[in-house]
Amino acid sequence: MSFFAKLFGFKQKTTAQEDVALKAAQELEPSNETSFIELIKNRRSIYAIGNNLSQSNDEIEKLIQEAIRHSPSAFNSQSSRAVILFGQSHHKFWNTVLEVLKTIIPAEAVSGTEQKIQSFAAGAGTVLFYEDQSVIKSLQEQFELYADNFPIWSEHSTAIAQFAVWNVLAEQNIGASLQHYNPIIDEKINTSFNIPAEWKLRAQLVFGSIEGTAGEKAFIDDESRFKTFG
């Protein structure tokens, strides 16, 4: 059973006796499953993606939904929303992005931009991450002392949801990269997909089969990043 299958409670039905036997066996045998830290390390930005996935759309949809459903949020606001696009809807989204970009980029940048957008369209699907502003506004009214913080905490919520989905997909050997074409695409996308006015687009996670490896990852010095006391 995978790490996230355990985390989200996916398991085969067993009898009580089988559960006892399985637990005993697990206590005796060292685990060779991938740890959470290894999953985090394996999650990379994969730009060379295709539409050759072994998982069905329904399976991927369920993984994404479970990842977001179980992602924590400040005050348990559950403000994160998602639009999951496959097939023609996925292509429609990226065609719309390209149309918008062509109206604002210089002529000499069109060719390169087309290639980049086409590389995203070559994938299997896209997750659009939103935050429901009506939820945030309601919390601001209920807890005026923290009113200024709720938009910030909303950004935390969507970031956690994005990270959870990205890792769930990576565990299934599905490549992905996070894009940010909002807010310039918001109006057209909201119209095209009938998005509620209260939903604010925060990011786009495009995913598909892994058709190329990720580049080398560089890290800043630990001394610049961490401080430990005690």
224 found inside a domain: no
Interval 73-92 mean pLDDT: 99
> CATH number, domain at 68?
3.40.109.10
The pLDDT value given to residue 90: 99
For the segment 102-133, what is each residue's pLDDT rounded down to a tens digit?
Answer: 999 999 999 999 999 999 999 999 999 999 99
Q: What mean pLDDT, rounded, does the chain reach? A: 91
Model confidence at 9: pLDDT above 90: no
218 C-beta neighbours (distance < 10 Å), count: 5
Range of the domain at 179: 42-211
Note whether residue 19 is domain-resident: no
Classify residue 10: in a domain, yes or no. no
Which pLDDT does position 23 carry in this prediction? 52
Q: Tens of pLDDT along 25-72?
A: 344 444 456 799 999 999 999 999 999 999 999 999 999 999 999 999
Is residue 30 a part of any domain in this protein? no
Q: Is residue 79 part of a domain?
A: yes
Report the domain count for the chain: 1
Q: Amino acid identity of 40?
A: I
User: What is the model's pTM?
Assistant: 0.87
DSSP characters over 168-210: HHHHTTEEEEEE--TTTTHHHHHHHTT--TTEEEEEEEEEEEE
Does residue 16 fall inside a structural domain? Answer: no
pLDDT of residue 6: 57
Averaged over 131-139, what is the pLDDT?
A: 99
Query: Is residue 83 classed as helix, strand or coil in its secondary structure?
Result: strand
Average pLDDT for residues 67-81, to the nearest whole number? 99
Percent of the chain at pLDDT > 90 equals: 85
